[in-house]
Amino acid sequence: MGDGHSKEDIKKHVKLYIGIFIALLVGTVVTVLAAYVDLGHKMNIALALLIASVKAFLVAGFFMHLTSEKKTIYTILACTVVFFIGLMALTVIAHFDVPTIAGSGH
């Protein structure tokens, strides 16, 4: 049930793949154009990462079939997400954890 790999399903998928391909190309052009528009430094960064995340979702979700995978894969990826967040959190903590050296002005 719902494996989605019968010949009819594959034919439907192919249409979806082409749609995503076009969306990814459009996304690339939009990212480049958005970089030339001055929205303020932080907004530019946020927008670029947002577009990249949407593109990443399209690739992972459909090209890598993550929207319809088995539970084992989701479990593996859930662990990855936890560790990835931990890694980034450590980076943020490191950024704020700068020792004050007396008299150095830092």
Partner 1 sequence: MEVPYTSKPRPDTGLYNAKVGIWLFLASEVMLFGALFSSYILLRVNALEGTWPHGLLNIPIGTFNTAVLITSSITVVMAWASLKLGQFNRFKIYQGITILCALAFMVIKSVEYKDKFTHYQVWLKDGETIRGHIEVPGIEGKPWFMTHKKLEAMEAVDHITIHPDPKPHVASAGGEAPEAHKSENHGGAEEHAHEPRRIEKADIKRLSAFVPAHSTYFAIYFTLTALHALHVMGGALVMAYLWGPGSKMWKTDPERFTNRIEVSGLFWHFVDLVWIFLFPVLYLL
Task: Please give the residue ranges that form the binding site for partner 1 (CB under 8 A).
Answer: 5, 7, 10-11, 13-14, 17-18, 20-21, 24-25, 28-29, 31-32, 35-36, 38, 44-45, 48-49, 51-52, 55-56, 59-60, 63-64, 70-73, 76-77, 79-80, 83-84, 87-88, 90-91, 94-95
Tokens of 43: 């907004």
First-to-last alpha carbon distance for the chain, in angstroms, is 62
**Smallest distance, Å, CB 50 to partner 1?**
10
**Distance, CA of 79 to CA of 100 (rounded, Å):** 36
- Residue 34: CB minimum distance to partner 1, A: 8
Closest distance to partner 1 from the beta carbon of 44 (Å): 7
| Cα–Cα distance, 59 to 65 (Å, whole number) | 9
Give whichever of 37 and 102 is closer to partner 1, judged by the CB atom.
37
In angstroms, the CA 44 to CA 31 distance is: 10
The upper half-sphere exposure of residue 71, i.e. CA atoms within 13 Å in the direction of its Cβ, equals 0
Least Å distance between CB 86 and partner 1? 10
